[in-house]
Structures are given as structure tokens and as C-alpha cells.
Amino acid sequence: MSDRVLEFYFEFSSPYGYIASELVEAFAAERDLTVAWKPFLIGAAFKQAGTRPLLDVPLKGPYAIHDLKRLARLHGLTVVIPEGFPIMPVAACRALIWCQKHAPDRAVDLIHAIYRYGFAAGKDFGKAPVVAEIAAGLGLDQDAVLAGTQDSEIKAALRDQVEAAIAKGVFGSPFFIFDGEPFWGVDHMELLGRWIDDDGW
């Protein structure tokens, strides 16, 4: 494992985060980086910034959906916006934090499984039993994952992670930090790559 770390902040209800999640492993491997997968809740950042989800903004929302699908095609992906979007991401975040603690070797698989359930299959993953069932499909203990979503320590860990993300200036998904340098948006991964490859400028 490389000691050069790329912090990857993402929100499970973010379709742009989904696209980034499908790209970041290859991106990191090309540069011998270790990805630190950091789920957080973007709603807390919206409150501090006084903003709201892009897809809910008049005029910008329809453009964003068009742009999102165009960007997905560029990378050989398909994005389906789930019915009832935005999806509540709290249970998914807690399940992932539980997994990172108790089954860390399956955590990235769980991230992909949840994201693909939502934005490749277009299904609602907002309820804890659904997330636990997704986890069970990876061989994780369904009951343990479900209990983890209600565990007080897991809840506190998520709150701490959200606060730490905001303290670092994270306000959107996906959001990358490398060696203290922040980059927001999947469309900035090329710029991020240039920054890393050229040792900054």
C-alpha cells in the first residue's frame, strides 16, 4: 500500500460521486496512490454554505441531469436517477463505516454495490434493511450490518467524519484532497491528475 494518500469524499446520494467511485481506483493505481474512502453527508455542508442540491435548482437542475448522463457516457457508464431522488444516505453511510471497522476488506465492494444499486439499477437504497440486504449479497452478515446502522458508536463516527470533512472545506461530492490540495467534482479529476503528476505548480 502506498503511503501517498488520495482522500476521496463522497455522498451516496450523489450521482457525480457514483461516477467518481467508478473511476478513482484506476486513477489512483496509475499514480501509486492509496484511496482513503470517506463517506459523508452533504446536507450538513449545504446548511453551512447556504446552498441546496444542484438537481433541485431551477434552470440548473435539468442541465445537470443532461450533463450527468453525458459525462457518464464519456466514461462508459449509464446513470439512472432513482425514483424518489434524492435518496437518504444515512443508513448507507453508517453501514459503510461499520464495514470499514469490522470487514475492511469488503468496504470498497460495499461502496460499489450500494452506488450501483442506486445509480446503475435506479433503485432506492435509503432504508437500512435495503442496505443490509445489499451487504448480504457480498457475504456480509445482514443482521450485523443492520444492527450497525443503529449502533451509537457508528452514529458518532459518522458525525465526527462529517464534521472533520467540513472542517477541511469539503462541500460537495465528489471531493478530493491530495497533500492538502482540494479538488471538487468528477470533472476536475483531470486537473487533479495533472497536479499530482507535475508535483503541483
Residue 49 confidence (pLDDT) above 70: no
Contact 10, 39 (CB under 8 A): yes
* pLDDT single digits (tens) 135-166: 999 999 999 999 999 999 999 999 999 999 99
CA distances to 17, 37, 43, 146 from 80, in Å:
13, 23, 22, 26
**Predicted model pTM:** 0.93
The pLDDT value recorded for residue 84 is 81
Question: Is residue 86 reached through a cis peptide bond, with omega within 30 degrees of 0 on the bond before it?
Answer: yes
The pLDDT value recorded for residue 17 is 97
Maximum Cα–Cα distance across the chain: 50
- Residues 6 or more apart whose CB falls under 8 angstroms from that of 54 comprise 60, 61, 64
The pLDDT value recorded for residue 59 is 76
Phi, psi torsion values for 74, nearest 5 degrees: -55, -35
The pLDDT value recorded for residue 200 is 81
Residue 50 confidence (pLDDT) above 60: no
Range in 44-48, 62-66, 127-131 with the lowest mean pLDDT: 44-48
Residue 75 confidence (pLDDT) above 70: yes
The pLDDT value recorded for residue 120 is 96
CATH topology of domain 5-197: Glutaredoxin (3.40.30)
